Amino acid sequence: MSKSDHIFHHPNEFVLESGEKLSGFQLKYTTLGRLNKERSNIIWICHALTGNSDFTDWWSGSFRDGSLPTEQVGAFDPNEYFIICANSLGGCYGSTGPLSLNPDIGKPFYHSFPLLTNRDIIRAFDLLRLHLEFEKIHTLVGGSLGGQQVLEWAIECPEVFQHIIPVACNAKHSPWGIAINEAQRMAIATDPTWKENDARAGSEGIKAARAMGMISFRTYKTYDQTQAEKTNEKLDDFRAATYQLYQGEKLANRFNAFSYWTLTKAMDNHNVGRGKESIAAALGRIKARTLVIGIDTDILFPTPEQKLLAEHIPHARYETISSLYGHDGFLVEFDQFNQVVKKFLAASEKAHLHSTEKN
Shared-domain flag, residues 155 and 140: yes
| Residues 290 and 158 sit within 8 Å (Cβ to Cβ) | no
Residues 195 and 47 in one domain: no
State the pLDDT at residue 326. Answer: 98
**Beta bridge mates, 165:** 141
In the annotation, is 328 catalytic?
A: no
* Number of independent structural domains in the chain: 2
Q: Are residues 224 and 321 in the same domain?
A: no
**pLDDT score of 352:** 63
Helix (H, G, I), strand (E, B) or coil at 30: strand
Q: Which of 74, 205, 84 is closest to 138 using CA atoms?
A: 84
What is the reported pTM?
0.96
Are 215 and 282 part of one and the same domain? no
Side chain identity at residue 41, one-letter code? N
Nearest C-alpha neighbor of 171 from the set 88, 69, 250, 279: 279
Which CATH number characterizes residue 55's domain? Answer: 3.40.50.1820
Element (H, E) at 266: helix 257-268
CATH code for position 198: 1.10.1740.110
Question: Torsion over CA of 108, 47, 44 and 308, rounded to 10 degrees?
Answer: -130
- pLDDT bracket for residue 350 (50, 70, 90): confident
Q: How confident is the model at residue 64 (pLDDT cuts 50, 70, 90)?
A: confident
Question: What pLDDT score does 66 carry?
Answer: 76
- Residues 288 and 154 placed together within one structural domain of the fold: yes
Q: Calculate the average pLDDT of the chain.
A: 96
Question: For the residues 233-256, what does the mean pLDDT come to?
Answer: 97
351 band by pLDDT with thresholds 50, 70 and 90: confident
Burial 60-92 (b: 16+ CB within 10 A, else e): ebbbbbeeeeeeebbbbbbeebbbbbbbbbbbb
Res 358: pLDDT: 61
Q: Three-state SS for 280?
A: helix
Q: Which pLDDT does position 67 carry in this prediction? A: 76
**23 and 148 share one domain:** yes
- Res 209: pLDDT: 98
pLDDT tens figures, 7-61? 999 999 999 999 999 999 999 999 999 999 999 999 999 999 999 999 999 999 9
Helix (H) or strand (E) holding 142: strand 137-143
Residues 59 and 145 in one domain: yes
Are 271 and 214 spatial neighbours (Cβ–Cβ below 8 Å)? no
Q: What pLDDT is stored for residue 207 in this prediction?
A: 98
What pLDDT is stored for residue 353 in this prediction?
62
4 is catalytic: no
Pairwise CA distance, residues 146 & 153, whole Å? 10
Q: Which of 163, 327, 328, 348 is catalytic?
A: 327
One-letter amino acid for residue 184 of the chain:
Q
Q: Which residue is catalytic, options 144, 203, 216, 348?
A: 144
Phi-psi bin for 26: left (phi > 0), alpha (psi -120 to 50), beta? beta
End position of a domain, from candidates 266, 288, 303: 266
Same domain, 276 and 257: no
* 66 shares its domain with 118: yes
- At which of 247, 266, 285 does a domain end? 266
**Whether 241 and 280 share a structural domain:** no
Using CA atoms, how far apart are residues 121 and 237, in angstroms rounded to an integer?
Answer: 42
Mean pLDDT of 111-132: 98
The verdict on 18 and 120 lying in the same domain is yes
Last residue of a domain, one of 249, 266, 283: 266
Say whether 308 sits in a helix, a strand or coil: helix
CA dihedral 179, 183, 189, 190 (to 10 degrees): 150
Active-site residue among 298, 312, 323, 328? 298
> pLDDT at position 74, please?
92
Residues 45 and 85 grouped into a single domain: yes
> pLDDT value at position 304?
98
Contact predicate 258/97, CB 8 Å: yes
Domain membership of residue 199 as a residue range: 177-266
Task: State the pLDDT confidence band at 73, using cuts at 50, 70 and 90.
Answer: confident
